[in-house]
Amino acid sequence: SQQGEEDPQALSIQEGENATMNCSYKTSINNLQWYRQNSGRGLVHLILIRSNEREKHSGRLRVTLDTSKKSSSLLITASRAADTASYFCATDAKSNYQLIWGAGTKLIIKP
């Protein structure tokens, strides 16, 4: 069954504002990853956070992980038009080769 679920499904904000997306999952994990997909293209890895980490930064990205609530958030600060894309979280299923993907959050940055 599908594990990762992003919230909200769609988000539209003004350029310069911060964007926050959330991901919930159902079973224990080794790590959680966030990916970005520009329209009609492949996914690009943004950041990986391990189960023993609580927060991680990469440039304008900040990811948090709360294993007690089985949730993660992705914060993009000072958003730019180029951040317009869909964002997906993916968790590992410990017993096989699969990453479990959510349906994604579609982020639109208005200039």
Site residues, other proteins (CB under 8 A): 2, 4, 30-31, 33, 40-45, 48, 50, 88, 90, 92-93, 96-99, 101-104
Nearer to other proteins, 14 or 39 (CB): 39
Q: Residue 100 CB: number of other CB atoms within 10 A?
A: 18
Is there a contact between 30 and 51 (Cβ–Cβ < 8 Å)?
Answer: yes
Residue type, 75: L
Nearer to other proteins, 40 or 111 (CB): 40
Q: Count the helix, strand and coil residues of the chain and give each as a percent rounded to the nearest 5.
A: 5, 55, 40
Nearer to other proteins, 99 or 108 (CB): 99
Instruction: Report the nearest approach of other proteins to the CB of residue 61 (Å).
Output: 15
